[in-house]
Chain A
Amino acid sequence: MILSVRDLRVSFRTHDGPVRAIDGVSFNLEESEILGVVGESGSGKTVSLLAVMGLITDPNATIEGSIRYKGRELVGLPPRELRRLRGNEIAMIFQDPMTALTPVYTIGWQIAEQIRAHRGVSKAKAMERVEQLLAEVNFPNPHEAMSRYPHQLSGGMRQRAVIAMALSCDPALLVADEPTTALDVTVQAGILDLVRKLRAKHKSAVVFITHDMGVVSELADRVMVMYAGRVVERGTRSELFSDPRHPYTRALLGSIPPLTGQKPRRLPAIPGSPPSLLRLPQGCAFGPRCPVRYEPCEAGKPGLGSDAHAAACFRVAQA
């Protein structure tokens, strides 16, 4: 097992009181497995993975629970130790490639910087590796691309450069935070292809954060659905798509337009909007938007249980 997160809780102190952004999230990740993390904005998918990376720098944040990477506890690890893992064994790709690279340095310099931060190699050696990496992520002219500045590349190219950077030290774990959201559809497909190919080659486990069920269905081995800081359903990809149990997962799948058959007049949408983390409803957070809620939903928060395919819903437990 590469990564084991147990009962992770992240809360932020704010002017309006404490906000619990992550409320008891647990998941495992096996070697070279792709885990899709799905949820709306504010569901806590990014924050939970930033916590894994040790990238929550806000002094008002508290992180509790356990994050074990290859058996080693990361919560409370001194920054220096964490830094040695970051970029080296655990790498991250971010959502917006337009702003993820420092504008004043060349692509090659920025990738080489990461290599040299973790491996004691010469500049020339690092540059050689950069060229190889850029070729791997399908840069048509890797040697020339090294001396390009971020603003001279298209969004898709920048994201490839960011991916090349993330892979530069052969990480065992790659966290991809909506890497395709800011890109147009054809470029998206290319990036997804690349992630799949690289997983096969580098044997990295991947956590893929997205709000796009289509991307999940193409890429993920297992899926975790998040809502208001909690995991509401988890399972393998086929379990989740053929047998969605949580009403939220069903609603998410229900709002994907069908590819065949008659097109619906209007796509079904989930009524209401995600709750503010400052004022979570009593009981189940999804309750107020849920079509099948009944009394128990307001009384307590449903647990996820320990099954491989599990949903945090009283209706499911009842059935």
Chain B
Amino acid sequence: MLYAILRRFGQMLFVMFGISVIVFLIFFATPGADPAARIAGRNASPEVLAAVRHSFGFDQPLYVQYTRMMEKIFVTGDLTSFVNRGWKVVPAVMDSIPVTLSLVFGAAVLWVVVSIVIGIVAAATRDSWLDKLLMALGLLGISMPVYWLGEVMNLITQSRYHDSWAFSWVPPLGYKNFSDDPKGWFLTLVIPWITLAVLYIGIYGRVLRAAIIESMQEDYIRTARAKGLSETRILFRHALRTSLIAFVTLFGLDFGALVGGSALLTEVVFGLHGIGKLTYDALQNLDLPMIMATVMYASMFVVIANAVVDFVYILLDPRLRAS
């Protein structure tokens, strides 16, 4: 087991190394473009340009440039964004992480819990009016784009009905640090959580329902019935666990991607300065150091999420515990 963990960890490092090299090459070694000019920004003075060139090692071979870059991100942390008036890149990323994590974690808890309940109820009452209603609602959730649903939520909770008893508790848009104001942190995030979760509840509920229905056709379910177990026990003990594998796979992919910046639309709609927003701005301004740092950060989360998924597989299915 320990060996498996270590091996997986090694793989993660290797994958991240590969990603960093590719991203580095794309942005810093594209023929015909001078990365120093990009980093220094428009209308940079020759002195600044020279300083940048020297500091990033652009007058030296590629591998030196690459090591410099990695050193600036991971060791010294003094990667500077010239486009953004000398912002330190690493602290900017570090400041955005809690915002995005708060948003995605909360939404994930919500969508996992609700979609498991919906999936189970729909599968158990298969083809009934309740099943059809839940699946229709799920489809509705999937069909509503976040930027639209988010704006509608804002319209309702921030302006139109803000003064009614139902939404008077909703604080203005923005993010509050958990350590400063736990209650404010929670209240500001409730509406973003719901908005982000709606889409995933729809998808995950449907996926789980289909997986459970498929499991219920298995021979071992017939065995379980022949044993004289109740339908409830058969569903929860014998069908659900194997059904969760597809669910966990999806979750790993989605969670990693969201934490890595895909929550951008939600962040923008609700004025949260998270990783998505940071990446988006960096791309808009062609802020190469920032792009490098956010991509590294995002890939790290995707890779970690996938490793966690692999371990959950092993917990769910002993057949994967082979060696």
Is there a chain A Cβ closer than 8 Å to B285's Cβ?
no
Contact partners of A162 in chain B: CB under 8 A: 223
Is B228 a contact of A114 with CB atoms below 8 Å? yes
Contact with B along A152-196 (1 / 0, CB 8 A): 000000000010011000000000000000000000000000000
B224, closest chain A residue (CB): A102
Give A55 to B221 CA distance when docked, in angstroms: 11
Is B228 a contact of A84 with CB atoms below 8 Å? yes
Give A125 to B133 CA distance when docked, in angstroms: 46
Shortest beta-carbon distance from A284 to chain B in Å: 33
Give A86 to B231 CA distance when docked, in angstroms: 13
- Which residue from B228, B316, B319 sits with its C-beta under 8 Å from A86? B228
B interface residue count range (under 10 / 10 to 19 / 20 to 34 / 35 or more): 20 to 34
A98, closest chain B residue (CB): B219
Is there a chain A Cβ closer than 8 Å to B156's Cβ?
no
Is there a chain A Cβ closer than 8 Å to B220's Cβ?
yes
Is A103 a contact of B319 with CB atoms below 8 Å? yes
Is B222 a contact of A102 with CB atoms below 8 Å? no
Give A87 to B229 CA distance when docked, in angstroms: 8
Give A121 to B224 CA distance when docked, in angstroms: 19
Is A100 a contact of B220 with CB atoms below 8 Å? yes
Shortest beta-carbon distance from A47 to chain B in Å: 13
Contact with A along B209-240 (1 / 0, CB 8 A): 00000000011101111111111010001100
Contact partners of A86 in chain B: CB under 8 A: 225-228
Q: Is the interface of A mostly helix, strand, loop or mixed?
A: mixed
Contact partners of A10 in chain B: CB under 8 A: none
Give A91 to B229 CA distance when docked, in angstroms: 12
Contact partners of A53 in chain B: CB under 8 A: 226
Contact partners of A113 in chain B: CB under 8 A: 227, 229, 237
Is there a chain A Cβ closer than 8 Å to B318's Cβ?
yes
Is A149 a contact of B226 with CB atoms below 8 Å? no
Is A88 a contact of B220 with CB atoms below 8 Å? no
Interface residues of A, count at CB 8 A: 29
Shortest beta-carbon distance from B221 to chain A in Å: 8
Is there a chain B Cβ closer than 8 Å to A92's Cβ?
yes
B228, closest chain A residue (CB): A87
- Which residue from B224, B227, B237, B318 sits with its C-beta under 8 Å from A103? B318
Contact partners of A101 in chain B: CB under 8 A: 220, 223
Contacts A104-B316, A104-B317 known; A99 to B218 CB distance under 8 Å?
yes
Is A117 a contact of B318 with CB atoms below 8 Å? no
Is B227 a contact of A117 with CB atoms below 8 Å? yes
Is B318 a contact of A94 with CB atoms below 8 Å? no
Contact with B along A127-170 (1 / 0, CB 8 A): 00000000000000000000001010000000000100110000
Is B223 a contact of A94 with CB atoms below 8 Å? yes
Is B220 a contact of A99 with CB atoms below 8 Å? yes
Is there a chain A Cβ closer than 8 Å to B7's Cβ?
no
Can you list the 7 inter-chain pairs with the closest CB atoms, starting with the nearest? A87-B228, A99-B219, A86-B228, A87-B227, A114-B227, A92-B226, A102-B220
Q: A55-B222, A86-B227, A114-B227 are in contact. List 19 more A-B contacts (CB 8 A).
A: A55-B226, A83-B228, A84-B228, A87-B229, A88-B228, A92-B226, A94-B219, A94-B222, A94-B223, A99-B218, A100-B222, A101-B223, A102-B224, A104-B317, A113-B227, A113-B237, A117-B228, A151-B319, A166-B226
Chain A contacts to B: CB under 8 angstroms? 53, 55, 57, 79, 83-88, 91-92, 94, 96, 99-104, 113-114, 117-118, 149, 151, 162, 165-166
Chain B contacts to A: CB under 8 angstroms? 218-220, 222-231, 233, 237-238, 241-242, 316-319
